[in-house]
Structure 1
Amino acid sequence: MPRIALIHATRVAIAPIEAAAKAHWPEAETISIMEEGLSVDRQKSGDLSLELWDRIIGLARYAESAGSDAILFTCSAFGQAIDDAAEDSLIPIMKPNQAMFNAAFGYGDRIAMIYTFPPAAAGMEDEFKTAAASKGSKAVLTSYFCAGALDAKRAGDVVTHDRLIAETAEQIPEADVIMLAQFSMASAADAVLRRITTPVLTSPEAAITEIRRRVETMQRRQIC
C-alpha cells in the first residue's frame, strides 16, 4: 500500500483531494499534513519569500521522513519552492496543477483559468507557459479572478462559493476549456456545467491520476 503525503496550506483543500484519492486510488494510504500559516503568510507577502521557501522544503523533507512514497502539494502559490524540493528528492513530488495543465492542452489553444486566491495566479501562469513550451503547445491562458468565492468557502458557504464561480464562468467569452485553479474549487464544477457547455477541468482528480501513474511506474522499475 503506497503512502501519499498531501501537504495543505488551507483547510478548504483537504476534502476535495481526499475525495479524489478515494475515488481514483482507493488502495493508497493518504496522510494529510497541514500548515495553515503558509497561506496566511503568502497572502501578506508580495512574493515567495526565502522564509516561505524554506518552510516548503522543510515540509517535503518531513513527509519523506514519514515514509511517504510520493508527495502532493495542494496549494498553488508555492510552485517554484515545490520544484526545488522535487529536485533533491528520490520520490515524486508534485505541484497541484501540473496534471490539469497537461490535460488542458488536449482541448485546444484557448484556455481559461478561474482562480480565487490571488497570490497563486502569477506563479500558475508562469507554470502554464513552461508546460506549454515543453509540450510544443501554442495554447494561450487567460485568467479570471472570482472575488468573494474563497471567503465564502472558508465560511462554510459552499453554495455561494459555487454560484460565484459559475457566474464568473458565464462571463468568459471564448474558451476551449475552463480550468478551476484551486483544489478548493472542485465543488463548483457541477454548478459551472449547469450554466455553460465548455468543458471544465478540476485539479484534484487530474493530480491523483498523475501521481498514481508516477508511483506505479517507479514501483515497476524497482521490481525490474
Structure 2
Amino acid sequence: MSGHRADQPPTVAVISALPASLEPARTALTEGFPEASVWNLLDDRLLSDAEAADGLTPALSDRMLSLISYAVHGGADAVLLTCSLYGPVLEQARREHGLPMLSSDEELFAEVSRRRFGSVLLLGHLAPAVQDSVNRLKRVLSSTERGERTEVTGHTASGAAMAAAHEDLDALEKSLTAAATPYLKEVDAVILGMFSLSPAGAGMEKALGLPVLSAPLLAARVLREKVAAKDGASQGGPR
C-alpha cells in the first residue's frame, strides 16, 4: 500500500476496548501526532469478554484482527490499539497488512527498559490484563542487556475501573495512589498499564514522589515517526 496523499492528513485508526480510553488517546495524538486525523473504532465488550474468558482467546484475537482489517480497508494510514491485552494480536496483523501499527504499551515498555529502574510497579484494573502486561514487560526486559535486572510487580487498583469509566479524575488518582502507596519503599517507578488510567499520571507523581509512566503520548510520538518513515520510503524508494 502507498502512503497517504500529501495534501491530506494521515488517518490513524484508534481501536479501543473501553470508552474511557478514547479521550486519553485523542489527547495524546493531539500533542504527539497533531497532523493526524483520528478515527475511533470501539468494541466495548472486548475487555469484558476477555475477562469472562480469563484471558485472550483465539476467537477474541480473530475479532480484533477483523477490526484491524476493517480499519485498513477503510483507509487508515496507521493503527493504534489502546487495550494492552490485545497487543499480541499485532504480530499477525503486521504480517497481513503493510501499515504502521502499534500496541498500547510497546513504547512504554521500551521506555521502562531504557530507564533501567531497579524495580517497578505495574497497575491496572483487571487481573488478567495486569498479569498479561507484567509477563510481556518481563519478556521485553529480559531481551535487553540490563533490563533483566528490573523487578516487575503487578497489582490491581480497586475502584479504578469505575472511576475511569465515569471520567472521575479525582477518584481515579485516589484509587491508583492508594494501590501504589504500600509499594513506595520497594519500587523506583509506577507504570500505568492501560490508556484509561493515564489521566491520573501527573497527580500520582505529585502524591507519590515517584516517576509515573503511561503509554498514550509515547505511543503517539512513535506512531508519528513510523508513518513519516513509511511515507519517506514510499516516496523515495523503488516502485
Alignment match, 2:3: none
AA partner of residue 120 (structure 1): A
AA partner of residue 141 (structure 1): V
Superposed CA RMSD = 1.5
In structure 2, C-alpha distance between the alignment counterparts of 1:15 and 1:217, rounded to whole Å = 26
Alignment match, 1:176: 188
AA partner of residue 188 (structure 1): A
AA partner of residue 122 (structure 1): Q
What is the deviation of 1:100? 0.6
In structure 1, C-alpha distance between the alignment counterparts of 2:167 and 2:137, rounded to whole Å = 30
- Would the aligned equivalents of 2:13 and 2:80 in 1 still touch at CA under 8 Å? yes
Q: Cα gap change, 1:193/1:113 in structure 2, threshold over 3 Å: closer, same or farther?
A: same
In structure 2, C-alpha distance between the alignment counterparts of 1:200 and 1:6, rounded to whole Å = 24
AA partner of residue 191 (structure 2): M
Query: Structure 1, residues 170-193: CA drift from partner, whole Å, max 9, x if none?
Result: 221322221111101111112211
Does residue 73 of structure 2 align to residue 65 of structure 1?
Answer: yes
Does residue 53 of structure 2 align to residue 45 of structure 1?
Answer: yes
Alignment match, 2:122: 113
- Would the aligned equivalents of 1:76 and 1:97 in 2 still touch at CA under 8 Å? yes
Q: SS at 1:211's partner residue?
A: helix
Q: SS at 2:135's partner residue?
A: helix
Q: TM-score, normalised by structure 1?
A: 0.94
- Would the aligned equivalents of 1:163 and 1:191 in 2 still touch at CA under 8 Å? no
- Would the aligned equivalents of 1:56 and 1:85 in 2 still touch at CA under 8 Å? no
In structure 1, C-alpha distance between the alignment counterparts of 2:144 and 2:37, rounded to whole Å = 32
Q: SS at 1:33's partner residue?
A: strand
- Would the aligned equivalents of 2:158 and 2:179 in 1 still touch at CA under 8 Å? no
Q: Percent sequence identity over matched residues?
A: 23
Q: SS at 1:91's partner residue?
A: coil
Q: Residue 171 of structure 2 is aligned with which of 160, 177, 185?
A: 160
In structure 2, C-alpha distance between the alignment counterparts of 1:91 and 1:180, rounded to whole Å = 27
In structure 2, C-alpha distance between the alignment counterparts of 1:174 and 1:96, rounded to whole Å = 26
- Would the aligned equivalents of 2:121 and 2:152 in 1 still touch at CA under 8 Å? yes
> Structure 1: which 5+ residue stretches go unaligned?
none
Aligned residues: 224
Runs of 4+ residues deviating >3 angstroms: none
Q: Residue 212 of structure 2 is aligned with which of 200, 206, 224?
A: 200
AA partner of residue 147 (structure 1): S
Q: Residue 86 of structure 1 is aligned with which of 84, 94, 103?
A: 94
In structure 1, C-alpha distance between the alignment counterparts of 2:55 and 2:197, rounded to whole Å = 23
Larger Rg: 2
Alignment match, 1:123: 132
In structure 1, C-alpha distance between the alignment counterparts of 2:52 and 2:167, rounded to whole Å = 23
- Would the aligned equivalents of 1:56 and 1:82 in 2 still touch at CA under 8 Å? no
